[in-house]
Amino acid sequence: ATLDSNIVEAKGFHFPIYDKKDPYSSHQFLQPDTSSFYGEDAYYKMIHKDLKKFSKGDTINLEDEEFLNAMETIYRFPGEFTGKQIKFKGFMYHTKELKDNQYFLFRFGIIHCIADSGVFGMLVQFPEDVSFKNDDWVTVTGEVSTMYYQPFKKTIPIVKVTKVKREEKPDDP
């Protein structure tokens, strides 16, 4: 099966903190969290090493191999990235809660095993209404900011898009 928006619809789209149905599973969405796979000291060292790596300079150009680490770091320390330029690739996902100029830009990822797989990425906002279909692949460039997202009752990072390029779906999404 191809990993696309149909999987997002089937598994649901939410933060794990709001899903307490199954205490023995960990389904993550949007914000990666690897903290449970490390001891407290090891996690602290790892996340601060990534913070140093990803926050240096004014531009963050995310490649496939570093996508999950960078997303986790941006969600943990959004203030360190506010105002920086970011460029990353993923597939578009739109829900009825979003405005016509807002989409989530996702990648699928596996943190430890297939049971904890999920979609990770950020909310992206275009300067005007745009028309993409779910599963359209794009690369966006824009400025990192934050906003309060009511459905999650949480402040999340958002990318204010300045440039978008349509992409072919990768062989291994």
Contacts of 22 by beta carbon, 8 Å cutoff, 6+ apart: none
Tokens encoding 166:
């349509």
Nearest by Cα to 32 from 133, 146, 108: 108
In a domain, 61, yes or no: yes
In a domain, 139, yes or no: yes
Q: What is the pLDDT of residues 91-112, one digit of tens each?
A: 999 988 899 999 999 998 776 6
pLDDT of residue 30 exceeding 60, the answer is yes
- Which of 2-11, 12-21, 93-102 has the lowest average pLDDT? 12-21
pLDDT of residue 137 exceeding 80, the answer is yes
Q: What is the pLDDT of residues 42-81, one digit of tens each?
A: 999 999 999 999 999 999 999 888 998 999 999 999 999 9
In a domain, 95, yes or no: yes
pLDDT of residue 141 exceeding 70, the answer is yes
Average pLDDT over residues 158-168: 97
What CATH number does the domain containing 120 carry?
2.40.50.140
CB count, 10 Å around CB of 125?
19
* Domain assignment of residue 156, given as a range: 34-167
Percent of the chain topping pLDDT 70: 79
pLDDT of residue 138 exceeding 90, the answer is yes
User: What stretch of H or E contains 1?
Assistant: none
In a domain, 16, yes or no: no
Cα diameter, the chain: 45
- pLDDT at position 13 is 54
For 28, 60, 114, 122, 139, the CA distances from 144, given in Å and listed in that order, are: 22, 10, 30, 10, 15
Radius of gyration of the chain (CA): 15
* Average confidence score pLDDT of the chain: 84
Domain count, the chain: 1
In a domain, 19, yes or no: no
More confident residue, 45 or 36: 45
